[in-house]
Amino acid sequence: MENKILGAILLLSAIVLAIVIFTFNSALENKSEASCSCTEMQNGGSCPMESKTSWPVYLGIIAIALVAGLGAYLIFFEKSQKAILSTLEKQKQHADSEEKFNIFLKALNSDEQKIIKAVKEQEGITQQTLSLRTGIHKSKLSILLDALEKKDLITRKEKGKTKQVYIKISI
């Protein structure tokens, strides 16, 4: 929000600066026209004041463009900064979640780790698919799932003749 306010102030400053510079330029042109007398115009054909370039006006235009550009950037591109920050925050949360999950897995044996990883990848996986994915025989898998269920880490729900496995804890 602060960036938007600052951007609006800069845009208003650019407008005020533009008004001042163009008022100055028009006053300078009026003064140069008034300083040339008609006799000079008739003799030489041109006023020596007209040939001067107004470099302060050009510098003013550059300053206006820079201030207005910065103001517009602060107003309109704040959203992209917020998007980048939210993406970074999500990545950090995901990394923290993965770190917690890996620490949690260290408390389990290798077969239990395989099971938990497979269930995390596919919630509601059937025991038969879990057996194929982990390479653990059905009977050993059933014993391991019973042990994990007693530890309150997973839950099994019957679906027809098979059982689906879900992670019970939030990791």
CATH assignment of 109-167, given 1.10.10.10, 1.20.140.10, 3.40.5.90, 3.30.460.20? 1.10.10.10
Residues 89-95: what's their mean pLDDT? 88
Q: What is the DSSP letter of 169?
A: S
- Give the confidence band of 145 by pLDDT, cuts at 50, 70, 90: very high
Other residues' Cβ atoms within 10 Å of the Cβ of residue 72: 14
Least confident residue range of 51-60, 101-110, 117-126, 139-148: 51-60
- How far, rounded to the nearest angstrom, does the alpha carbon of residue 134 sit from its chain's CA centroid? 39
CA atoms within a 13 Å half-sphere pointing along the CA-CB vector of 54:
15
Distance between CA 134 and CA 117 in Å, rounded? 9
pLDDT tens-place string over residues 22-66: 888 787 777 766 666 555 555 655 665 555 556 777 888 888 899
Distance between CA 56 and CA 72 in Å, rounded? 24
Amino acid at 124: G
**Whole-number pLDDT of residue 44:** 57
> SS3 for 125?
strand
- How far, rounded to the nearest angstrom, does the alpha carbon of residue 71 sit from its chain's CA centroid? 19
**Whole-number pLDDT of residue 104:** 84
Average pLDDT of the chain, as a whole number: 82
Distance between CA 168 and CA 149 in Å, rounded? 9
Distance between CA 92 and CA 39 in Å, rounded? 79
Distance between CA 127 and CA 163 in Å, rounded? 6
